[in-house]
């Protein structure tokens, strides 16, 4: 299976929206359509031929105090420590698929770190900074794009924090 770089016209609508955002940001990497789903970090890594840790997965929570979406962009190999996230942003609840779609604008499995419908509280996993490049979802379960961790921080304007669940 080979990866195909896609033009805007053949991308799903939500991926086209991400492609336009990336173009506005003068991002030099095209959206790549995976031949199989990239809904999980392992699936995306297998399709891209990279390590799971190089997948910048987007995990969305619901902040209890104001019902805001809280997105953590984490290394694909890390489990997110909800207590660490809550210590930074306040108490959290689960975000179901409807909440994610309404607040962020993407379906679970293709949640992009940019281009959200509503203002989103964002955090970036510091472990992503050790890689020369990472891959993030581009608005669709088969769509991804490559960027450097520095570009991710710049595009999201999110603080870089320790949110990984670590063995005691």
| Per-residue pLDDT band at 2 (split at 50, 70, 90) | very low
Ramachandran quadrant class, 26 (left: phi over 0; alpha: psi -120 to 50; beta: rest): left
Overall average pLDDT of the 47-72 stretch: 96
Domain extents in the chain: 4-161
Model pLDDT for residues 26-43, shown as the tens digit of each residue: 999 999 999 887 778 998
What pLDDT score was predicted for residue 5?
A: 45
Model pLDDT for residues 142-151, shown as the tens digit of each residue: 999 999 999 9
Q: What is the pTM of this model?
A: 0.90
pLDDT over threshold 90, residue 90: yes
Beta pairing class for 134-137 and 55-63: parallel
**Which option is the CATH number for 4-161: 1.10.3720.10, 3.30.1330.60, 3.90.960.10, 3.20.20.70?**
3.90.960.10
> Token match 């309404």: residue?
102
pLDDT over threshold 50, residue 7: no
pLDDT over threshold 50, residue 47: yes
In this structure, how many other beta carbons lie within 10 angstroms of the beta carbon of residue 132?
7
Model pLDDT for residues 115-144, shown as the tens digit of each residue: 999 999 999 999 999 999 999 999 999 999
What pLDDT score was predicted for residue 37?
A: 74
What pLDDT score was predicted for residue 3?
A: 44
Q: What's the mean per-residue pLDDT of the chain?
A: 92
What pLDDT score was predicted for residue 166?
A: 85
What pLDDT score was predicted for residue 72?
A: 98
DSSP string for residues in the chain: ---EE--GGGS-HHHHHHHHHHHHTT-----EE-SS--SSHHHHHHHHTS-GGGEEEEEEEEETTT--EEEEEEETTPPB-HHHHHHHH--EEE--HHHHHHHTSS-TTS--SS--SS--EEEEEGGGGGSS-EEEE-SSTTEEEEE-HHHHHHHH-PPEE--B----
Q: Do 29 and 145 form a contact (C-beta atoms < 8 A)? A: yes
Residues forming beta bridges with residue 118, ordered by sequence position: none
């Amino acid at each position: 299976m080979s990866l195909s770089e896609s033009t805007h016209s053949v991308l799903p609508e939500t991926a086209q929206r991400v492609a336009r955002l990336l173009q506005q940001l003068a991002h030099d990497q095209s959206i790549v359509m995976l031949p199989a789903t990239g809904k999980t970090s392992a699936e995306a890594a297998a399709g891209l031929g990279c390590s799971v840790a190089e997948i910048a997965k987007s995990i969305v929570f619901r902040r209890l105090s104001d019902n805001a979406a809280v997105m953590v962009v984490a290394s694909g190999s890390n489990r997110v420590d909800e207590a660490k996230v809550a210590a930074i942003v306040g108490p959290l609840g689960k975000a179901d698929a409807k909440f994610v779609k309404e607040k962020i604008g993407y379906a679970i499995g293709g949640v992009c770190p940019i281009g959200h419908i509503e203002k989103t509280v964002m955090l970036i996993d510091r472990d992503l900074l050790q890689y020369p490049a990472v891959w993030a979802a581009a608005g669709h379960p088969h769509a991804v794009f490559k960027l450097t961790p520095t570009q991710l921080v710049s595009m999201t304007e999110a603080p870089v924090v320790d949110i990984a669940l670590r063995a005691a």
